[in-house]
Structure 1
Amino acid sequence: MIRTIDLRGRTPSRAELIALVPRAETDVSVASEAAAALIEAVRSDGLVALRGQAERFDKVVPEHVRVPQADIDAAVAALEPGVRAALDEAIVRVRQATAAQIPEPRTTTLGDGALVQQRWQPVERVGLYVPGGKAVYPSSVVMNVVPAQLAGVGSIAIASPPQSEFGGSIHPTILGAAGLLGVDEVYAIGGAGAVGALAYGVDEIGLDPVQVITGPGNVFVAAAKRLVRGVVGIDSEAGPTEILIIADASADPAFVTADLVSQAEHDELAAAVLVTDSAELAAAVATEVQTAASVTRHAERVAIALDGPQSAIVLVDSIEVAAAFSNAYGPEHLEIQTADPDAALARLHNAGAIFVGAFSPVSLGDYLAGSNHVLPTGGQSRFSSGLGAYTFLRPQQVIRYDRGALEAVADRIVALSSAENLPAHGEAVTARFAR
């Protein structure tokens, strides 16, 4: 079911490791043409295009594209008590952990009357995408909304695909989560068209353009986010989920197996990778995963994901090589289940989120760890980070110099402006002292 890649006896270079890592046979760029057409249709035809896309892709036309406040209130009231308690706890924990991401403003004094202030300014309006389809993601509402609120964003819009099961509205549990967080601007729109609507606005439904779009989605959502980047900011092109587990002989095969299966149930393109220096553990997991995958509720989906080119058991000579492999992969979720996890952690640099120890499964981070589960996929954690308050903050420097402070550096400004053949730059300074 899940293939084995044997790298024992080899010390691949970084370039070789990047070529060796298992990936799904998908490319966001192949969806770009279709996504661009859907976005352009929304820009030109607005509500008509959104309704048409809903009928085409979601098999339902929403009566209200903007969900009425009464429906949001009703969804909150109808939340099953256990689900509501879990969402309330998740909100508290994510707020606490996210608060650490907000920098304090600082002022640097460079001389008498010479100040540079560093401040962190929130964007004014954001659009948060919550996917639908194979699963329901009220937890993604929490993960998107809480960082935006803590960053100080004043205007938040949520988009989620309409559901035929609920008469064209979005899933009531998603609505309930939005209501718990006080979000009252929710749209039953999905896919690339929703990204276009958030980026450019739709006057007919009162949807104003946003400055930043965040949230995971399918390949068309990822392609759409790539296309509107520059018009708006985005978090990342979050695609199918990934888990990479580094484990040694001390790891419990049942735990490793359960964690691989847990992420494989998301999607047929989900990636599940074990990297280990223990042939015994690899064999045990290869056996156990077949049984576990066959009895889980979404067995067919899990089997396809584990059998795909994106999933593998990788055998290496040491945990040091395992760390190098992981750094080349840049996983969304990275678990460390080794006898000395801190030693492994010290070698690991590239990951969306890192789960240390046998009792820190990715499922914890999906819901109640307090960390954010909107994370970069497809190797993007090698150069980008997961969603956080900083996603919605812009660092700005405020410069305050008085006359004496400017005069103290005037000659040096003139010297540099002359060296760059930009004399007017220097003259803008000397003009202030000509009188």
Structure 2
Amino acid sequence: MARVLILFAGIVAVLAGLHSLTGMPPRSAMGKTVITFWQPWPGDQGDELRRLIALFNRAHPAIEMRTLYVPYNPASNQKLFLSISAGIPPDCTIVGGPQVCEWAARGALEPLDALMARFDVHNEDYWEPCARQCRFRGKTYGLTYCADPNFALLWNRSVFRDAGLLENGPPKTIEELDRLARQLTQRDAKGRLTRIGFIPWSVFGFPNSIFTWGWAFGGEFYDEKRERLICGEDPGVLEAMRWMKSYADEYGFEAINSFSEGFGDEADSPFIRGKIAMAAGHISNLRLFEKYAPNLDYGVAPFPYPEKMGSDRSAWVGGWCVGIPRGSRHPEAAFEFMKWLCSSPEMGKSMVQTTGQFPGYRYSSALDLAKDNPRMALFLEILRTARHQRPVMPAQGYFMGVLDHAVSDVLNGLKSPEQALRDAQDDTQKELNRVLERLE
């Protein structure tokens, strides 16, 4: 009995805390509609967002937007779900792009289609992969705030120059990448790596690596119409996994891991230090290098592709979205803010200038700011041509974990590429079926 009382007291305390975060009166003293917005950015980015929200409030005298910093992690997400269950959710919240579908499937987000029609907002206003990641079973549950174009190839011009390969420039095909990687790799007298040309599974984690290379080889992971995983039977994904494994075989997976130990991020990046000649690049790298290595001599190029494919097909888009939690007390005012947040010139300009990222709104005038920066312009071109996003399914997070194990098993020699991908497909399909059954 004592344990039950303690548990009950804990739940009451959590709900009271949530109410202090979200349980604001519907009207302020000035008669405005008060809406609450949960966002995950501390520091300078959070300060800039609050400055811009003040602009929104001045331009919309009938609405008062109040923002709250809430870290984006599993624990904080549970607070959101609990606030929804308790009937005191925020009016709108930031959602990771891949989580929009998952949150929609569990009933945590309101469909936006009626509000979009009322406010003249269209899915076609957003980059195609951005719009797709916000839809589930024919309904839209989010708008894309910022879009991540994934990925470019970074190449260290100083390393190329030292190796007498500067005139070659960056590789265009995977065959050229393989050849340059061998030429740029160095070992000491004991055979230990002192520099490596390229690491194909270092594309911001194992799952993102197999996604990127799988698409580069013309593969697909998921059939959305049939709600069926296909990565275990797709020849392009299998070829990509075999190619990644070839680097582990040639250079030694453990040898590469030992070589990589001790490297850090930011100023201690192995690319900055010239220990990795070529690497996958995210648009955030541009600001990182500007801050920590302003004299770094490097280039940014399109991602290599298999020669037989004829062009790069790897480009995909991630990014942050914004949605309305189920039970929002002011969905219309919240959507008016969401439209402004995602498409206003003020927000777009601030995003490009302060974070170096791009709006999900494809007609933003802020995109013109990238024209005078060749490196940013290349990332913008990746965004314009991208056709992929992570699979839109309510077991996407589970799939990421399964793929992480699959790539690890292959690189460590525990499973063949065929077996690892087939197991990943079957395992995730079971989880997806379990989730979908709850929706019937």
Specify if TM > 0.5.
Answer: no
Compute the TM-score of the two structures, normalised by the length of structure 1.
Answer: 0.25
Q: Which has the larger radius of gyration?
A: 1
